[in-house]
Structure formats: structure tokens, C-alpha cells
Amino acid sequence: MIAIAGFCALVPNAAHAACTSPAKGEGAIEWFTADQKFKYCDNTNWVVIGTGGSWVVSGSDIYYTTDMVGINRSNPAVMLDVGGSVRIGDNSVTCNTAREGAIRYSSVNTVDFCDGTSWKSFSGITPSTCPTTEYTTPGSYTYTVTAGCTNLILESYGAGGGGGWASYAGGGGGSSRIEYPASTIVSLGGGGGGGGGDAGGPGGGGGGGYGKKLMTLSVGNVLNIYVGQGGQNGCSNNGGAGGNPSGGTLGNSSNGGNSTYGGGGGGDGGYRGGTSTYGGGGGGGDGVDNNGSTTTYGGAGGADVAYLCGTSTYGGPCGGSKSGGGGGYGIGDVALQGSGGNSSAGGTAAGGGTGTGGAPASACNRGGDGKVVIRPQQ
């Protein structure tokens, strides 16, 4: 061990008394008791040895304020470039926004990262643990959120409206929806409107709408799911029934029945279609105004081309010179409208869905059913 009880000077040339307090020449090394540091004279100032101007000491913290740091690297390429293994541990700090992005090796032998709120294990990020789930058969279901499946895309596709047949109108398509919590709609595809009855040329049903919602949920949360049924085409002696859930009754010497989530029923000849809130409006029968058939998110019900169509607040109007049902609309972060039907075909579903409107070509057939898709966010 070498003890320096004063100062020593490294003098490549003649020393100059360039530093003050104390006055020493260039190359001199001095121990500063007040700072508890060695410093050298650079011909102008006393500089701390081994730190340069970029290292900063603050209490027990030491940090580098500019450029990059290399450990076993002479030319670091990133902010911290280590030429070897790095060991991390767990100092039991709380994960918060200030520590977002931190990594630790926990006491339970997992490698974790801080997401700004809590520590999450890298081992839990496995896309294959969260498969895409599709519901394509009309009815009601539940989906329980599991580990690894908390960040989800929720897609709802409405069903197509039924087409008219001769003088008899088609029923509206049923809506598809996802609720969380129960009774709160987060994603919905409205049903397509029913085609109008017209002895001179009935109309096709409207295509179903589309709604997409991105949500972050918790393990154990339960989603309620409802898949809409296609509206029924007009039949030989009556209008078509509205598609489920709880679709409106068919018109048989009467107006079509009303619904909330299902399609409005199609009117018999001389009678209007039923109303709905989320499903498609029922088509009106031959020889009658159908403006009493209303819907909020479904497609408007079609009508005899010489009479008034049904109406929709957000869905599409009747198409094809009034005879075709309108396209349904959606609820969610993204909402798309289906296409309206016309005198020869049903409208296409929004978002590539299966809820195509029924063509006015055969009695009692149905428009395409809706579906619900739940998949992980990428």
C-alpha cells in the first residue's frame, strides 16, 4: 500500500502553478479531505480522478449523465452495453409508474417486469394460452376470462334480415351482442332489416352490422354473449318471423310482432312490419306504408315500392327502390353498417360477417345468422 501524505506531481514538462486552492502545477494529484476524493490538476481546475465531467454522485447514488456506458466493452453501442452475463435480483420495491419497464428476478424464481401498476411474470405471456373463441349458433352463452386472456378484442356480427316473398314481408335479423357486466352492452352488431312484400317484386333482407370493442378485464370476469338468428323470409300465406333473440312474431292477417334485441316480424300482405331496438325492423307487406316499423341500431324494414319504408336511427335505410331491408349498424370502438338488400338479392354483412340478408327467391328461408368472436389483442 502506498500512502500519500501530501501531494505528488506527474510532470511531463515544466510544471506551472495553474490550479489554485491549493496552488499546484499541471499533473499534480491531491487528496481533498472535505470532498473525500482524489483530484488532479488539469492546468486549470482540480478534477476528480476516475469520473470525468459526466459521472454524478448524489448521496449513495452514482449515475452517468451523457453518452453510453460499457462493461467489458470498449465501444458501447447502446446506453448500457455489457459484454457478459447480467445478474438481477429482487429488492422488494413496489411497481409503479416511475419504475415502469423495470425487470427483476423474484423470490419465487420468476423473471418479472413492471407494467407501471404491478409486477407481471414473463412466463404468463404466452399467446397460445388465449385462443380465439367463436360463437356461431344462435343462442346465449357465457365466457369466463382466464389467466393470459385479460386483454381481449370483442366482435359482434348481426344477423341478416329475411327477404320478402310475393306479397309477404321478411322479418328483421336478430342482433348479436356482448355484455359486461350483465345488461351493459360493450359490443353489438345490429340485425338487418326485413325485405318488403310486393306482388310486383319483393325485396331482399339487409345485411347485419358489426361492432368491435377492445377491453382489459380481470381473471374471473364473466361476459354474457348472445348470437342473433337470421330473419325469416316471407312465407306463402304470412310474413316472416323476426330472428331471435326473442324475435317478433310473423304477421298473419296482422302486423309483424315487435322485439327489443331480435328482429321485428314481417307484415302480412296489407300490414306493416314490427319494430325493434337492436334488431332489424320488419318489412312491410304489399300495399301498405311501413313507416310504423322503427329500429334504433338495426336496418330499416323495406316496403312495397309505392309506399313508405320503415326507419332506423343509426342503421341503413331501405334499399333497392324501397323494397330491400336496410343494413344493421353496430356498437363499440368500431361500428360498421351492413349493406341494404334490393329486388334481386340480400345485402352483405359488415366486417366480413355471416349475416347476409335473405334473397327474395324462396318462401320461409332465413337470412344468415350472426356470430360473436372473442380473441386476444396482439
124-155 pLDDT, tens per residue? 554 447 999 999 999 999 999 999 999 999 99
291 and 316 part of one domain: yes
Distance CA 281, CA 276 (A): 6
pLDDT exceeds cutoff 80 at 73: no
Decide which of 97, 123, 149 is a domain's last residue. 123
215 and 231 assigned to the same domain? yes
Are 230 and 109 part of one and the same domain? no
If asked whether residues 355 and 217 sit together in one domain, one would say: yes
Domain end point (choices 75, 102, 123): 123
For residue 129, which phi and psi values (nearest 5 degrees)?
-80, -10
Between 275 and 100, name the one with better pLDDT: 275
Whether 7 maps to a domain, the answer reads no
Distance separating alpha carbons of residues 152 and 213, to the nearest angstrom: 8
Final residue of a structural domain among 105, 123, 141: 123
Per-residue cell: 301: 324494414
* pLDDT for the residue numbered 1: 39
Asked whether residue 319 falls in the same domain as residue 356, the answer is yes
Does 197 share its domain with 320? Answer: yes
* 118 plus 250 within the same structural domain: no
Q: Which residue would you say has higher pLDDT here, 34 or 70?
A: 34
Overall average pLDDT of the 35-59 stretch: 69
In a domain, 349, yes or no: yes
pLDDT tens per residue across span 267-323 = 999 999 999 999 999 999 999 999 999 999 999 999 999 999 999 999 999 998 899
Looking at the structure, do residues 112 and 181 belong to the same domain, yes or no? no
Place of cell 385479460: 150
> Is the residue at 17 inside a domain?
no
Q: Does residue 299 sit in the same domain as residue 335?
A: yes
310/72: higher pLDDT:
310
- What percent of the chain is modeled with pLDDT above 90? 65
CA–CA separation, 174 and 310 (whole Å): 16
Rg (C-alpha) for the chain, rounded Å, is 36
SS (H, E, C) 96-142: CHHHCCCEEECCCCCEEEECCCCEEEHHHCCHHHCCCEEECCCEEEE
Q: At residue 98, what are phi and psi to the nearest 5 degrees? A: -70, -25
Closest CA to 164 of 16, 52, 320: 320
Q: What is the band of 105 on the pLDDT scale with cuts at 50, 70, 90?
A: confident
Residue 117 belongs to what domain range? Answer: 87-123
Please list, in sequence order, all residues whose beta carbon lies within 8 angstroms of the beta carbon of residue 103, skipping any fewer than 6 positions away.
Answer: 88, 111, 112, 113, 114
pLDDT of residue 56: 58
Phi and psi angles of residue 228, each rounded to the nearest 5 degrees, phi first: -80, 150
Q: What is the DSSP letter of 366?
A: B
Residue 52 domain flag: no
Q: Would 289 be classed as within a structural domain? A: yes
* Residue for grid cell 394460452: 129
Shared domain for 274 and 328, answered yes or no, is yes
Query: Under DSSP, is residue 351 helix (H, G, I), strand (E, B) or coil?
Result: helix
**21 domain-assigned:** no
Report the chain's mean pLDDT, rounded to a whole number: 88
Q: How many domains does the chain have?
A: 2
Q: Evaluate whether residue 60 is within a structural domain.
A: no
- Specify whether 97 is located in the same domain as 164: no
Same domain, residue pair 285 and 314: yes
133-135 and 371-376 strand pairing = antiparallel
pLDDT over 60 (residue 53): no
Q: Judge whether residue 12 has pLDDT over 50.
A: no
In this structure, is residue 227 part of a structural domain? yes
User: How far apart are the C-alpha atoms of 370 and 35, rounded to whole Å?
Assistant: 76
pLDDT band at 69 (very low <50, low <70, confident <90, very high): low
Segment 190-202, tens digit of pLDDT: 999 999 999 999 9
The neighbouring-strand residues paired with 140 are 226
Interior angle at CA 211, CA 357 and CA 117, nearest 5: 160
